[in-house]
Structure 1
Amino acid sequence: MSRLKRAFRKTLVEFFKKTSLNGFGLLYFIRRRPYQRIFWFLFIATGIAAATFVVCTTLLQFLARPTVTSLSEASFESVESLPFPALSICSANKLSRQRLEAFAEQLALTNGKSRADWLKQLQLLAGYFYPLAVSATAAAELQAALAALWPLDVRRQLLHLSPSCESLLLSCHVDGVASNCSELFRLTPRLEGSCCVLQRTDRISDALRLRLNASHADDFHMPRPGFSTAFSLHLPGWLGRATLAPGESSALHLRPLHLKADPQLRDYPLTQRGCHFPEEADHLVQCLPQCRLRSTVAACNCAPFVYDLASTDGQLENVSYCNLAQTACLQSVEGKQSQRILTESSSWSPWSCAECLPACNDWRYELRKSLTGYVDRLESTVSISYDGQRVPVYQQDGLYKWYQLLLSTKFRLANVGGVLSVCIGCSFISGVELVYFMVYRLWYNWQQLGM
């Protein structure tokens, strides 16, 4: 037997005799009873295996989730630049009857049909808003009948035929002061139709009070799926919405939620932090519609009118807006979307846009409605203000990288120490003992055997 092996054996015997680890000494003192030594060896080996498994699992979980999110609250006064959300007000009436009558009069002058016949056919314009609510064949026939009188710029034409924000908003008050509604809101195409979108959010610090025109004098009835109330209000990035019926006086309460992230998270992969910074990608509110646009263009080679092709930076140069001739294709796309829960062949769903992640630093809002009374049936009033005086703040911070684990107090050292203590009776002193015997005593015994 070589000198190193003899030194190691002698050191191992010394370790078993003098170690503070529970049970290891029995491997030496009961050496004359082999079956007991085998029992204690298996028992200790099981404890070491269990401790190794638990410690490794804890370490892998730490590395898989290198960020921690903490919840706190802040007062409105201490929050920096609390923005008022870009509110969208959409009317259930998508097109103006007065403007469509003028358009039908123009069509009647160039065609043998009467204005009443054209008005009846123009109900198929609902295909731009609800493709599934009209007949694809009848819509295509109307598109052919319109011919050159229907411009290629569908977006501008539908905006021209939509009720204006001036006719929808009777009065606007910002923080109790009367304001010009035309300066606050702009007519903008949305998936819900042409809506009045709040632009000057920087002017609002407390409350926004609106008086809406609920008269049906300018309504143009078109096929639509289900029943719609007079108005719907939407906030960007929030799935909920509020509806207003004619004659209602309501209060909408905004509950903001602030998401913050440590700038050091830029060094982490996107898959680990689960969010992006502004310079890395578009906001989720813009990313999901663009993802849906790409799916529609791939299927129908056209874009719905709600998208502004002029702002796509040349990415869709050869793509035009969808018209009624593409209703059948849009119905196919919309039909697959409505059945995405029942089938895996859907063309688009939010879950198919893996690149669309939420922003690391963001404001989100919850909209809650309370009915405060009733007014004249020809109008509706709504007051929009913040709810409460506190803002929940979710702060996402990075833990430590793998090479900082030994110095990290967040790596649950108490849990790891408890596991080692329960399984093999190990402590910090036990580790020092192991190093002492396997280094110093092994070298000392090797030197002694060489003399």
Structure 2
Amino acid sequence: MPENSTKKRKKYPGCVKNFSDYFSEYSGNSSIHGIKYIGEKKRTIIEKLWWSVAILASLYLCIFTIIKTYQKWQSSPVIVSFARSPTPVWNIPFPAVTICSETKTKQSIFNYTDVYNRYEHGKNISTEENAMLERISLVCDSHLHLSGNDTIDYETIDFLAKVAPPFDEIFYECKWMNQIRNCSQLFTPTLSEDGICFTFNMLDREELYTNTVFLNGEYLHHETKSTNWTLEDGYPPNVGKDAYPMRAISAGQGAGLSVLLRLYEKDLDYVCRGPVQGFKVLLHHPAEVPRVSQQYFRAPLNQESIVAIKPDMMTTSDGLKDYHPHRRQCYFEHERQLRFYQVYTQKNCEVECLTNYTLDYCGCVSYHMPHDENTKLCSSGKTLCVYQASVSLLMDDINNKFTTDAQERNSTGHQECDCLQACTSLTYNSENSQAEFAWYKVFEATKANFQGLTGANLTSVTLFFKEMQFITSERNELYGPTDFLANCGGLLGLFMGFSFLSVIEIVYFLSLRLACNLKKYGRHYWSGSPELLEDDSYVHNA
């Protein structure tokens, strides 16, 4: 045969043949379990079908389990656990203590019982008495007097303070850190649903309220500024024991607050506030407004109340800052700005939401609610409307929680409160005990002077931290991106023998190796299979 003769050319392999050869090469080198049995040319159709079904079943179970893991990550990304170490009580402020007297009027100034009975029995009362009856009814039980004007002026608030037992008459003696202190330096008058109350260790109104709020008078104004304290960051490290809000340096009675309260028998009114006389006491956060009607404990007359305080603090790890607030179920301080309050807490948010709803519902707000100067204040004629507004808001929020349809959820006509918990929150629980306070027996036994105590009823309230340390709760990631990826990798490895390098391997065979083979051998030899390359029948003679 002549040397320059060419070998007989064979027909070029088609696309299907090339793909089959290329897949056989991939399956022979793949790290994924079972793939090599499908690509082996010597395997029968039955064997390949059996392995195909097995691989598809494993892939289905793997994908199903990964979807379940993803759903769990989306629905429950946060876990609440205990902190690694306890927190000493001096790292947190002593609770703000709000005390409200059940006696709203001094009988010598205005006898509410007498005027109310004459009004109810159709007897004549003067115009002045009727005006005072309407005003005092704002702080009495809400069902007593529902008639009158719709709005009031700021003189009504001054009147409530004028007829109430004065501060010096209510507070007989105060002790802080086992030292007798001037009560007026510890307690500040404030407004609440129960009228004029007095609060200890609360932020000044310039630090609590925004410039939007108009507050007539000197209520909640004590000019003591906080020492750069915030709920999230706590006290600065260079602040000593004289920090504000004040903090206890230890647990026990000697490091707490003791007050001796006084009411005179002649001023007690059993119509305005009912059969239980004495005081309401509320423990709350220094940056929260007191909601005495929602949560309180009683300090009855001639009783000694001992209150052991147990703080409950919740913090949130920095790893959750990138999560949406509704996924972690809390707001960081910079994420939610209220209109009326500088500090976001859940209770402040609820008060602001109720205020806005009441204004839309009744056209006015209660005298104790935050408001601007142009907002109207509700009088006794709107008492029932204010009560219905609070009930309606509560029912709307409950309905929204159980309604999935967005259109129906927005049909109430008001914006949802969306008052999630603050990511750093602090509440104060208490363990109370009471005993008879026979103070007059002591005076009689010691033949002490009863000056200023004739006809008086005394109540003693002592508050202190129960333990030196407490356990803080902390929100942490239950499933972070790394945990989710690790779970997916474990499932893929369990069902498929799949790893990250398996992905690299697939990408390599679909891109780099394919491109190199096409460049080197041409489009008819894209597989680069050794069997094809060794077969020179496919090679053109130059």
User: In which range does the TM-score fall when normalised by the shorter chain?
Assistant: 0.7 to 0.9
Question: Residues 355 and 370 of structure 2 are in contact (CA less than 8 Å); yes or no, is this contact kept in structure 1?
Answer: no
Deviation at 1:395, TM superposition (A): 4.0
Cα distance, 1:291–1:391 mapped onto 2, change above 3 Å: same
Describe the superposition over 1:22-42 as per-residue Cα deviations: whole angstroms up to 9, x where unpaired: 433443569765445334322
Structure 1 unpaired stretches of 5+: 106-111
2:389 aligned with 1:379: no
Deviations 1:391-449 (A, max 9, x none): 33344467999xxx5xx3x4361x33332233223345655654565556655563455
Residue 109 of structure 1 aligns with which residue?
Answer: none
**Does residue 256 of structure 1 match 2:311?**
yes
Q: Name 2:223's counterpart in structure 1.
A: none
Match of 2:386 among 330, 334, 339: 330
1:96 is aligned to 2:115? no
State the match for 1:368 in structure 2.
431
Within the candidate set 262, 269, 273, 1:213 is matched to 262
- Report if aligned partners of 2:21, 2:527 keep a CA contact under 8 Å in 1: no
> Does residue 406 of structure 2 align to residue 357 of structure 1?
no
Match of 1:167 in 2: 169
Amino acid at match of 1:385: F
The 3 A distance-change label for structure 1 pair 21 and 286 is closer
1:86-109 Cα distance to aligned partner (Å, 9 max, x none): 11112222333233259x99xxxx
Q: Alignment partner of 1:27: what SS? A: helix
The answer as to whether partners of 2:32 and 2:498 remain within 8 angstroms in 1 is yes
Structure 2 portions without partners, runs of 5+? 1-11, 116-122, 203-243, 249-254, 286-290, 339-343, 401-407, 441-456, 518-525, 534-538
- Once the two structures are superposed, the pairs formed by residues 153-192 of structure 1 within 5 Å of their partners are 153-192=155-194
1:386 aligned partner, one-letter code: F
The Cα of 1:365 is off from its aligned counterpart by 2.0
What is the TM-score with the length of structure 2 in the denominator? 0.63
Q: How does 1:44-443 map to 2 (within 5 A)?
A: 44-59=55-70, 61-62=72-73, 70-72=81-83, 74-77=85-88, 81-101=91-111, 125=135, 127-129=137-139, 132-136=142-146, 139-140=147-148, 152-199=154-201, 202-205=245-248, 206-213=255-262, 215-224=264-273, 228=276, 230-236=278-284, 240-261=295-316, 268-273=323-328, 274-278=330-334, 280-282=336-338, 283-284=344-345, 285-309=347-371, 312=372, 317-334=373-390, 336=392, 353-371=416-434, 374-376=437-439, 378-396=457-475, 405=481, 408=482, 410-411=483-484, 413=486, 415-427=487-499, 430-431=502-503, 434=506, 438=510, 442=514
How many Å apart are 1:307 and its aligned residue?
2.6
User: Relative to 1, partners in 2 of residues 1:342 and 1:270: Cα closer, same or farther, differing over 3 Å?
Assistant: closer
SS at match of 1:220: coil
Contact 1:185 1:199 in 2 (8 A): yes
CA distance in 1, matches of 2:162, 2:335: 36
How far is 1:133 from its partner? 0.8
Contact 1:240–1:367 under 8 Å retained in 2: no
Cα displacement (A) at 1:383: 1.4
Output the aligned Cα RMSD. Answer: 4.4
Distance between the aligned counterparts of 2:62 and 2:395, measured in 1? 49
What is the one-letter code of the residue matched to 2:143? A
SS of residue paired to 1:290:
helix
TM-score (norm 1): 0.74
Farther-moved stretch of structure 1 (369-378 vs 335-344): 335-344
**Is the 1:257–1:365 Cα contact (8 Å) retained in structure 2?**
yes
Q: Is the 8 A contact 2:315 2:475 kept in 1?
A: yes
Q: Is the 8 A contact 2:313 2:426 kept in 1?
A: yes
CA separation of 1:387 and 1:328: change in aligned 2, threshold 3 A:
closer
CA contact (8 A) 1:95 1:161 kept: yes
Aligned to 2:447: none
The question of 1:10 aligning with 2:7 is answered no
Give the greater-gyration-radius structure (CA).
Answer: 2
**Cα deviation digits, residues 335-361 of structure 1 (max 9, x gap):** 646877998899xx9x97434333333
Q: Is the Cα contact below 8 Å between 1:124 and 1:134 reproduced in 2?
A: no
Aligned mates of 2:105, 2:394 — CA distance in 1: 25
- Work out whether residues 259 and 393 of structure 1, in 8 Å CA contact, stay in contact via their aligned partners in 2: yes
Contact 1:132 1:334 survives alignment (8 Å): no
Report if aligned partners of 1:30, 1:37 keep a CA contact under 8 Å in 2.
Answer: no
CA contact (8 A) 2:98 2:282 kept: yes
Partners of 1:253 and 1:385 within 8 A in 2: yes
Q: State the 1:186 CA deviation.
A: 1.9
Query: Does the residue aligned with 1:222 lie in a helix, a strand or coil?
Result: coil
Partners of 1:342 and 1:48 lie apart in 2 by 43
1:385 Cα deviation after fit: 1.0
- Matched letter for residue 423 of structure 1: F
Identity among equivalent pairs (%): 19
